[in-house]
Structure 1
Amino acid sequence: MDLVVTADRVRTLADADNGVTAVAIRAGRIAAVGTRDDVAAWRGPATRVIDLGAATVTPGFIDAHVHPVLGAQLTRGVGLLGLDLEGVRRALAAHAATLEPGAWVLGWGLDPNVVHGRSLTAADIDDVLGGRPALVRLFDGHSALASSGALRVTGVDGPVAFDQRSEVVCEADGTPTGLLLEAAAIALVDSAVPTPTVEELAVRTHEALSRMAALGITAAHALEHAPQASAVYDLIEAEHELPVRLRCSPWVQPGTTERDWAAVAALQATGGRRWQVRGAKLFIDGTVDNGTAWLADPDSLGQSTSPYWPDPAEYSRAIAWFDAHDVPTATHAIGDEGVRHALRALARAGGRVPHRIEHIETIPDDLVDAFARLPVTASMQPTHCTEYTAPDQSDNWSSRLGPTRASRGWRIRDLREAGARVALGSDWPIADFDPRGILAAARLRRRGGAPERAPIQPDQAITALMALEGYTTHAAWSVGEQAEAGTIEVGKRADLTAFAVDPMLAPPDELVDASIMLTVSEGAITHESLVGAAGS
C-alpha cells in the first residue's frame, strides 16, 4: 500500500459503514477498507500510515460549482463583500490611492442592497476615484458598475443592441447610468481593462485551489473554460500538481451554431494530469437582483420577463444536440420560467448523458415534482440564500420577487424529500468556497456561527446527512461519476476529507470552525494539519 489512513470514525456513505476505521490506498485508488486491526497486514516497507486519532474521515468533498480561472481574474482589485455604501466608497478610495494616475480601479462583490429603492449608478463612486476609470463587479457576477471615467474611456455613451440578453442601463434621455447588465454589456468596458498574463492567472488560480484543498475540497466542477484556461492549468502542472482535480465545462452562448457546438464537443476528454474538459455550460437567464432572470410574471419593477437566449427554442436545440453527442450540460436557470424551460428541454433530449440545472432560486411545487421525475440534478448554493437575502424580505432579491415567490427560494429540503438529487457548491467567487460554512448554512438556513441571525425559510433546512451527500454522493452522481467517486469503497478514487469533528454529529455552528486535518485527492495528500495525529 502507498498510504493508510486511520481514524475513530470513517463515514463511507456506502450502504453501511460497519465500523470502518481504516482506509488503504494504492496507485490513487482505495485498495481496502477495514479497521485499525487490519493495518499490520496492509503495511509494506514503503507504506505511510497516518493515524488521525478521534477525527472523522468522509469521502472527498466535491464543490459542484466553481470558477477557478474566471474567479482569479474577477477577484483582482478590492473585495467589497459585506460592506455598506460608505464602506464601499472608503475601500475604493483607499485602493485608488495606491494606483498610478489613470490606472483602472477594480472591485468585486458589490452588493446592490447598499442602496435602497433604486439602482446603483456611477455617481455613487465617481468622486472617490481620483479621476481614475473603474469597473466594479456586483456580487451576482452578472452585472457591473462602471464609473463615468470608464464609460468615457470606452466610448459607451448610450443604449446598445446585443445578440444576447444584455443591457447598458440608461436614463430616460439615453445617458448611461454606469450599470451594465450581463456579459456582453460588461465586455464593452472590460475590454479596455488591462488583461492579466497567463502567468499571473496561474499564480492566482493555484493559490485559490490550494486554499480549497486546505478546506477539504478534493475535486470541483469548473463551470467555465475560457480560452486561456488550458494554458493556465498547463502552466500550473508544469511546476506543481493541481491541488484540486477539475472537471471543466466551456460556455455555450446565444448566437452560436452547430459548428461552435462541435468545437466544444471536440474538446471533450482533453486536459492534463488533474484536469479535463467534460461538459458544456449554458445560460437560460440571468439573475433576480439585476432584473434579468426569466420569471413567469414580471418582478416588482416590471422586469425579469425574458430569456437570455433571444430565441429559447434555439437553447432547446442546443441541449438536444449536446445530449445526442454525449456531452453533459449544466444550465444556469434562476427564475421559475427559466427552470421550467430548461426542464422541458432536458425532458425532450433523451438523457443519454447526465445533465444539471444550476441555482434554481425560486420554483413552484410542480417544478419540484418535475425534478423528482427526471434524471436531472439540481445544483444549488445554500449561502446565496443565507448571505444575500434577509429573513424580513427587505433585500433586493426578495422585494423584486414579492412574498410568494421569495418564499419559494432555494427549496433544497423540498427537492430532497421529493426524491431529487441535489449537488451543493459555492459558485466561487460569487460566494466563499469554504464547505464548512456551506454545510452549516444548508442545515441552519442562516450563517453558521451567527446564532443571533434569524433563519430564512427554516422549513427548507436539510439534515446533516443530506448536506454531506450534497458534497459527495450527489455531486458525483450529477456528472455520472458515481462509480468513481462519492463514497469510500474499494476500487474508487482515493478522495478523502478528514475533520477534527464528525460533520454528522457536530452542531453546525461549531462545524464552521472545525479543523480539516487531512485532504487526499486521488491518493495524493493535498493538505495536512496533523496536530495530535500520528504518522509513520
Structure 2
Amino acid sequence: MTTAELIVQADTVHTLDVGRPTAEAVAMAGGIIVGVGSRAEAMAWRGRATEVIDLGPATLTPGLVDGHLHPVTGVDMTRGVDLTTVTSLPQLVDVLRGAPRVEPEGWVLGWGLSPDAFARTPLTYAPLVQALGEAPVFLLMNDAHAALASPSALRAAGIDGPRAFAGATEIVCDEAGRPTGHLLEIPAYELVVAVMPPEADVVRRDKLRQLLRDMAAVGLTAGNAMDFQGDSGALVAALEEETDLPLRLRFAPLCMPGAGPAEIAEILDQQRIGGRRWQVEGVKFMIDGTIDGGTAWLHEPDCFGESTAPFWPEPQAYAEALRHLAAAGVPTVTHAIGDAGVRYVLDALEDLPAAPTRVPHRIEHLETVPDDLVGRFARQDVTASMQPTHCTLYARADQTDNWSHRLGPERAGRAWRTRDLRAEGARLVLGSDWPVAPYDPRAVLADAQLRRPHGRPEIPEIRPEQRLTARMALEGYTTHAAAAAGLERVAGRIREGFRADLSAFGLDPLLVPPDEFAEAAVPLTVVDGTVAHRG
C-alpha cells in the first residue's frame, strides 16, 4: 500500500460503503483514500512524514456536499444589514434606522427580508420611507427573487413606471402606473443594483475567502454553485492563486429567457473553465420564480390570482435551449417550484434524446408536487434537489405563512415531499440555497428529519410524514450528491480509491437526536487529502 500522507482516526467512521460500513481509520495520499480500517491496521500505513490526527470519540463521514448554493453572487446579495430575523413592519423600521450607510450617496442596503413581515398588507416602500425618508434604500427579499427599493433608489435607476421584460418579471405599479417599490424577479431589481455604490474587488474577494473558510468550518467539503455571472470566474481564480480553496465548487452558469445563439455558445465555452478545486459543469435554467413572490408557475392561480405563467414567456424556447445544451453534453439544472413548472420540466427532460454525459439532469426546489409526478423522478433518472430548511424556516404547520396562504390547503399539503420522493426511489440531493437559507449542513440534516426548526420543539411539524431518516438525510449530502454529479465511482463514500474528502463531527449524525446534532462540534474537515478546517 502507498504510504499515507495523512491518517485520520475516530471511534466511529461511517463509510456509507456496504462492503465495509464502519471503520476507525482513514489513510490518504495524493488526494485519494489509500486505506480504510482499524487503528491497529493504520500502524502499517504510516511513514516518517505521515501526519496522524486521532479525533477520539468523534464521528467521521464522507465529505458533505451542499446541493445548491450561491457562494459568489451571494457575497454581493448579502451586502448591508441582515433582515432574516425581522418579523414585523415596526421591527423593520427600527432596524433600518440603525443600519449603516454606504457612502458617498448614503445608501442603506439589506437582505433576507421575509414577506411575512408585511402580514397581509402589500409590499411597498412605505416602511423604507418611514424609517429613512429620502435615503436611497435597497432590500433583497429572502427568496432572492424580489426586492424593495425606495423612491430615491428607483429614481437613481430611472424607474418611473412599468416596463416590458423578456421573462415573468415586473416593476409593480399602483393603479396610476407609479412604482410601489416592489421589484419582482432578478431583471427588475438588477436595474437598481446597477446604480448602487459598487463594492471594491478586494473587499469582495476577502468576503468570499472568509465565506468559504466558514463553510469548511461547519463540515462542507464541496458545493454546487448555481451562479457564474459577471466576474465569478476571475474572483474564484484570484483566490486560488493565493491558496487552495477550502472546498470544491462546481458551477452552473445561468441561462435566462431570451438567450440566443451567442449566449448559448458562451455557456458552452464556459464548460472548459476551471481550476484545481473548481470547475464549470452544467447550466442553470429557471422555468418559474417563487410562490412567495407570486411568480411560480401553477396549474391554478394562487389566492391572489398570481403564479399563472412560466418565467420563460415561450416555454418551448426553454425546451429548445435545454435540448441543445444537453445534446452537447452539458448537464442541466432547472429551478422549478410550482406544480405546472415541475410538470413542464419533467416532460421536457423525458423528450430529450440520450445525451453524451454521465451526469443526470436535475430539478431544483420542487416545493409543491402533485402525486402523479413523484414517481417520475426515479423512472426518468432525474435528480430531485431540495432544501429542507426552506420548509422549516419559511412555512408553518397552521398554514398562516405567506407561502401556504398563497397556495391554499391542498397545494400547501404537498409541501417539500422529501420522504415520498425517496420512497419512490428518487435520487434526492439536499442543500441550503445560501443565502436564501443558512448554509450550515448540521441544521439542514436536522431539519430534514424534524420537519420543524431544530432547537424549537414547541413549533409544530410541517407534514411530519415527510421526515427523512438520519441515514437518508446524510445520503443527501454524500452518496446521492456524488451520484447527482456523476461521481458515484470516485466520491460520496469512504472507500479506497475515492476522493479524500471527509467531515468530522463531535456527535454521531446517525445516532443522536437531530436537535443535538445541529449543535455538534466540527473538529475537522478534510478536502483533497488536506486539512481545510481544524477545530
Please confirm whether the aligned pair reaches a TM-score higher than 0.5, indicating the same fold: yes
AA matched with 2:96: L
Hey, what's the Cα distance between the residues in 2 that align with 1:455 and 1:309?
A: 35
Q: 1:83 to 1:64 in 2, by over 3 A?
A: same
Specify the SS of the correspondent of 2:375.
Answer: helix
Report the equivalent of 2:175.
172
Is 1:246 aligned to residue 252 of structure 2? no
AA matched with 1:384: H
Is 1:464 aligned to residue 467 of structure 2? no
Hey, what's the Cα distance between the residues in 2 that align with 1:417 and 1:189?
A: 45
Q: Do 1:198 and 1:228's aligned partners in 2 also have CA atoms closer than 8 Å?
A: no
Q: Do 2:524 and 2:534's aligned partners in 1 also have CA atoms closer than 8 Å?
A: yes
Root mean square deviation of aligned Cα? 1.1
Segments of structure 1 that go 5 or more residues without pairing to the other structure are 530-536
Hey, what's the Cα distance between the residues in 1 that align with 2:485 and 2:260?
A: 25
Hey, what's the Cα distance between the residues in 2 that align with 1:101 and 1:499?
A: 45
Normalising by the residue count of structure 1, what TM-score does the alignment of the two structures yield? 0.97
Is 1:477 aligned to residue 483 of structure 2? yes
Q: Do 2:134 and 2:151's aligned partners in 1 also have CA atoms closer than 8 Å?
A: no
Please report how far the alpha carbon of residue 237 of structure 1 lies from its aligned counterpart in structure 2 after TM superposition: 1.3
Report the equivalent of 1:90.
94
Report the equivalent of 1:513.
519
Q: Do 2:115 and 2:123's aligned partners in 1 also have CA atoms closer than 8 Å?
A: yes
- Superposed CA offset, 1:70-117 (max 9, x none): 110010100000212222222211114x55573211100000001122
Q: 1:231 to 1:18 in 2, by over 3 A?
A: closer
Q: 1:104 to 1:145 in 2, by over 3 A?
A: same
Q: Do 2:14 and 2:21's aligned partners in 1 also have CA atoms closer than 8 Å?
A: no
Is 1:349 aligned to residue 352 of structure 2? yes
Specify the SS of the correspondent of 1:516.
Answer: coil
Segments of structure 2 that go 5 or more residues without pairing to the other structure are none
1:159-238 equivalent positions in 2, closer than 5 A: 159-238=162-241
AA matched with 1:265: L
Q: Do 1:391 and 1:454's aligned partners in 2 also have CA atoms closer than 8 Å?
A: yes
Hey, what's the Cα distance between the residues in 2 that align with 1:66 and 1:94?
A: 29
- Superposed CA offset, 1:135-159 (max 9, x none): 1000000000001111122221111
Q: 1:271 to 1:258 in 2, by over 3 A?
A: same
Report the equivalent of 1:501.
507
- Superposed CA offset, 1:145-195 (max 9, x none): 001111122221111111111000011111111000001111221111122
Hey, what's the Cα distance between the residues in 2 that align with 1:19 and 1:424?
A: 23
Is 1:20 aligned to residue 23 of structure 2? yes
Match of 1:295 among 288, 295, 298: 298
Please report how far the alpha carbon of residue 495 of structure 1 lies from its aligned counterpart in structure 2 after TM superposition: 0.5
Report the equivalent of 1:409.
415
Report the equivalent of 1:397.
403
Match of 1:132 among 122, 132, 135: 135
Hey, what's the Cα distance between the residues in 2 that align with 1:387 and 1:16?
A: 38
AA matched with 1:524: T
Specify the SS of the correspondent of 1:25.
Answer: strand
Hey, what's the Cα distance between the residues in 1 that align with 2:486 and 2:421?
A: 19
% same residue: 50
Report the equivalent of 1:534.
none
Match of 1:145 among 124, 148, 161: 148
AA matched with 2:140: R
| Count of residues in correspondence between the two structures | 528
AA matched with 2:233: S
Q: Do 1:23 and 1:33's aligned partners in 2 also have CA atoms closer than 8 Å?
A: yes
Hey, what's the Cα distance between the residues in 1 that align with 2:102 and 2:429?
A: 41
Match of 2:453 among 443, 447, 450: 447
Please report how far the alpha carbon of residue 450 of structure 1 lies from its aligned counterpart in structure 2 after TM superposition: 1.1
Please report how far the alpha carbon of residue 240 of structure 1 lies from its aligned counterpart in structure 2 after TM superposition: 2.3
Specify the SS of the correspondent of 1:63.
Answer: strand
Shifted more, 215-224 versus 181-190: the winner is 181-190
Match of 2:494 among 467, 471, 488: 488
Report the equivalent of 1:10.
13
AA matched with 1:508: P
Match of 1:266 among 266, 269, 272: 269
Q: Do 2:14 and 2:22's aligned partners in 1 also have CA atoms closer than 8 Å?
A: no
Report the equivalent of 1:431.
437
Q: Do 1:209 and 1:244's aligned partners in 2 also have CA atoms closer than 8 Å?
A: yes
Please report how far the alpha carbon of residue 259 of structure 1 lies from its aligned counterpart in structure 2 after TM superposition: 3.0
Hey, what's the Cα distance between the residues in 2 that align with 1:100 and 1:254?
A: 35
Hey, what's the Cα distance between the residues in 2 that align with 1:351 and 1:137?
A: 40
Hey, what's the Cα distance between the residues in 1 that align with 2:35 and 2:483?
A: 22
Q: Do 2:15 and 2:21's aligned partners in 1 also have CA atoms closer than 8 Å?
A: no
Report the equivalent of 2:58.
55
